[in-house]
Amino acid sequence: MREIESCWKSFSWFDILSLPALSWTRPFLPHCNLPLALIANLPSWDSIQHQAREAFIAQTRQINRQQEDSADLETQARRRIVGHAFHQLAQVVGAPVARDYEHWVRIHFFSPEFELAIDTWRCALSRAYPYQRADSVRARTWRERQVSPPEALVALLPTLEPFVNLDTTRKLQEEIFVAAPKEKVPEWSLEYTRKAQSESDRQILENPSPDVRAFAEEHIRNRPPIPEIKPCHEAHLLAQAIEQTVRFKALQTLAQSLNASARNEVVDWAQRQLLKASSSRGHIEVERLRRDKYLQTTLPDFEGTSVFDLPLEQS
């Protein structure tokens, strides 16, 4: 039997597949770079993904009644049912579009190397800009740890800025969290947060410095209460996909705009910049960068086997 990839153990699959079909997500879909043919056929996909979720719930109930150790069987059922859903989508929008959508899902939610790489590239590219906040000490440290970017990159900085600036995705995330349905935070989670917060307060209030203690006391007095409701799980998934899409646009811009020589210059600069910005972790960041692997004009291939390359099992 073919070994099942770890992504199929995730409990998030059906929440991920529901994202395009949820009414409150519609205003944000243009930021996701989803296949246009999928967007044009959302009612069909809504029916397919809803039936898939219901089929999985029914099968897991049956599995749990019959088996003590059900995790592997649930994983197999998840892969089988999700695969069947993508094949159904292919019948509606065509196989190329369905493959593109699976590609989108696998890259944005099940490709940790991609996630680390684009975040590391954002960190490196942000160092090409001046320090943005009114803090003279940090601004001086920032300048001291900057490596002068190559001319080819300097010319692109105005274009790259919206994709590198954290405010771009932070604003979208705030809008998503306002629009999304809310759910109650479980009591166990609230209790864990209270204990962690209490322990942190105790440690900082024991600091020998009166200034530190005074600052901490003021912070504790003005701290808002721990929220008892939170945005739903789907809101965090959507925010993740949008953030990655925005970050990847910076790498797409570099790939589209630079010739091979200039690309190598930018990669070498990014590695030197990461090493200088963080002497203790720089080598780790350089490894996460993956040189120019993710400087591509289209989403890179995902690791693993497409559901369209597996035998179609009866769901």
Tally the domains of the chain. Answer: 1
Domain that holds residue 97: 6-114+300-309
| Separation CA 168–CA 60 (nearest Å) | 40
Cβ neighbours around 199 below 10 Å, total: 10
Query: Which pLDDT does position 228 carry in this prediction?
Result: 87
Backbone angles phi, psi at 282, to 5 degrees: -55, -40
Burial 213-225 (b: 16+ CB within 10 A, else e): eeebeeeeeeeee
Q: Is residue 178 part of a domain?
A: no
Q: Is residue 33 part of a domain?
A: yes
Q: Is residue 29 part of a domain?
A: yes
**Mean pLDDT taken over the chain:** 90
| Pairing mode of beta strands 182-184, 229-231 | antiparallel
Query: Which pLDDT does position 3 carry in this prediction?
Result: 60
Across the chain, which has 315 residues, the per-10-residue mean pLDDT values are 78 97 96 94 96 95 77 90 97 96 96 94 91 69 86 95 92 96 90 90 85 84 88 96 96 95 95 83 81 91 90 70
Collapsing DSSP to helix, strand or coil, 191 comes out as helix
Q: What is the DSSP string of 32-84?
A: TT--HHHHTTHHHHHHHHHHHHHHHHHHHHHHHHH-SS-HHHHHHHHHHHHHH
Q: Is residue 109 part of a domain?
A: yes
Q: Is residue 31 part of a domain?
A: yes
| Separation CA 203–CA 210 (nearest Å) | 14
CA 61 to chain CA mean position, Å: 31
Q: Is residue 39 part of a domain?
A: yes
Q: Is residue 32 part of a domain?
A: yes
Collapsing DSSP to helix, strand or coil, 229 comes out as strand
| Separation CA 21–CA 29 (nearest Å) | 10
Q: Which of 112, 108, 129, 130 is nearest to 120 (CA)?
A: 112
pLDDT digits (tens, 9 = 90+) for 244-253: 999 999 999 9
Strands, E assignment, 212-287: 229-231
Query: Which pLDDT does position 1 carry in this prediction?
Result: 43
